Chain A
Amino acid sequence: MSSNDERKMRELAERLAAMSPDAPPFPEETTVTSPSKQTSTLRPLTVFAGAALIVLLGLGIPLIIMNSGEAPVGTDTTTTTIAGTSTTAPETTTTSETPDTTVTTTPTTSYGSVLYLTQDPENSFLGNPAIIALETVVALEDGADDLDVLRATINMLGNPDLVVPEAFSNSVPEGVEALVIRRADGTDNALIIEMNEAFLDGAGGLLADFTMLNQLIYTATQLPDIEEVQFIVNNEQVTQFGSEGLDLSASVNRETFQNELNIIYLTSPILPNADGNIVVEGNSNTYEATMHARVLDPEGNIVHEELGTATSGSGEWGEYLFVLDPDHFEDGSSVQLLWYSPEDGSASNVITIPYNGGQPWDFLSGS
């Protein structure tokens, strides 16, 4: 970086700091603290915000609408994945036709991410749902970091506008939201996620609560270096979660509630690899670690089936991997995962995942 850049960056910071108003007074009003440690108080400075502007308005000085999201004219869109590949587009500043109003828009970038929905398996003795990894994108201000993307992805799950495709389900209730995500102090592999209070209610029933947690945990631990998360609410550990008052005061990971899942589930989105083959991978806990993958045509007919072996089974969770020939696929194909019961030979714990042609799912518009 040039010395001129350094000088200008310093000038920017100094000119910003020079605008700083006096520090607000110490908030010494009596506060009301609820048992959950929420603090509320009068906010005497609410009126202060923006107060000087009316004078400037009266004088006809141009008004700057900071970060106006109401008229995103000319917003550019680029695509970036969490893994880091990105393309960039020119940044845009738009000046409206009104002579005394300047609207500055911030470029938007689409970031690749993975959302974990669920599916109720067919022919399952326990009836536990499967976690299904699905590739999606989130649109954020350019420059968002991996935790911003993660937060936006988690918040898709509680978004009332989320459109869940017919094949899947979502156990995260509307309104559940991650407020802040940060890396835990002193560790390289843990996140602390501050959830809103709606999180505490769970999903209505013990199994639904476990499923909700698994969705959140799997979504939150998709970053390669993150293995565990701790949920907090109002800056406090969660000791009473959901219908049964689960204690979530300790960190949780993908194994914590794994036994509440279907014995076959999908940990990564079904996508083509560099060779064009379709990769299907996840976890399973089947008899002798054997399982099968099928490719179904749009009418549900089996066009291909192959046997696979996970790294463990018969009571221990293992990892499975299928690399399928793309020639078996067409528009509207699905992948089916199952194992055959040694007792009666029936296809068991069957999950069926529509193949989206390697394209991300758009859960907010339903495509």
Chain B
Amino acid sequence: MLSVMSTRDEEIYRSCAGELTRYATGLVGPFDAPDVVTDAFLKASGSSRWDQVDNHRAYLYRTVLTVAMDHHRSSRARRAREQRAAVPAVAHQPEIDYEILDVVERLSVKQRAAVMLTYWSDLPADEVGRLMGVSEGTVKRHLDRARKRLKEWLS
């Protein structure tokens, strides 16, 4: 059937699209972040559970992580092609920090999520775990592993 996104959905989207895009930037980089956010919102709002969800923001955070993980796995070849064939962007694009992209490449997507939510969003581990769909202990493990991966850069 044909349907149109509701006004409520649009309000939900507009209230958190910015923070989700920053979060997604930490997970997949600035070039793919808008795609991941769009895909995540369509996936979440197309779910039959969407209308029963109490906390849409938390639900969208989880969906962004899920989409980012799949995107991360499936997009390597496509990304390489796009990088070879891309055209100049028309949207606003902040300066690309290649050093930090190189650094974050050492982390898994879940480790990036834990880092972004802990250090950018300033959330405690239990809240990070809630947004990632994992336990507080798992969040701490992800952060610990991330620090080990970044040992050289941190020193």
Partner-B contacts on A (CB < 8 A): 1, 4-5, 8-10, 12-24, 26-28, 30-33, 35, 37-39, 41, 43, 45-57, 61-70, 91, 93, 102, 104, 106, 141-145, 148, 179-180, 182-183, 235-236
Contacts and interface: CB of A to CB of B under 8 A. Distances in A.
Contacts of A67: 72, 76, 105
Given A9-B119, A45-B38, A104 B102 contact: yes
Interface residues of B, number: 87
Nearest to A1: B147
A278 to B, nearest CB: 34
A140 to B, nearest CB: 9
B38 A20 contact: no
A348 to B, nearest CB: 45
B37 A24 contact: yes
B47 A235 contact: yes
Given A9-B115, A13-B115, A18-B97, 9 more contacts: A8-B154, A12-B100, A21-B21, A22-B91, A33-B1, A37-B46, A47-B87, A145-B110, A145-B134
Contacts, number: 247
B96 A56 contact: yes
B83 A57 contact: yes
A41 B86 CA distance: 22
A143 B96 CA distance: 26
A23 B116 contact: no
B110 A66 contact: no
Given A31-B46, A51-B89, A68 B37 contact: no
Interface string B4-32: 11000010011001101110011001111
Contacts of A30: 2-4
Nearest to B149: A91
Given A33-B46, A64-B102, A141-B108, A19 B96 contact: yes
Contacts of A35: 1
Contacts of A64: 98, 101-102, 105
A46 B82 CA distance: 10
Contacts of A37: 46-48
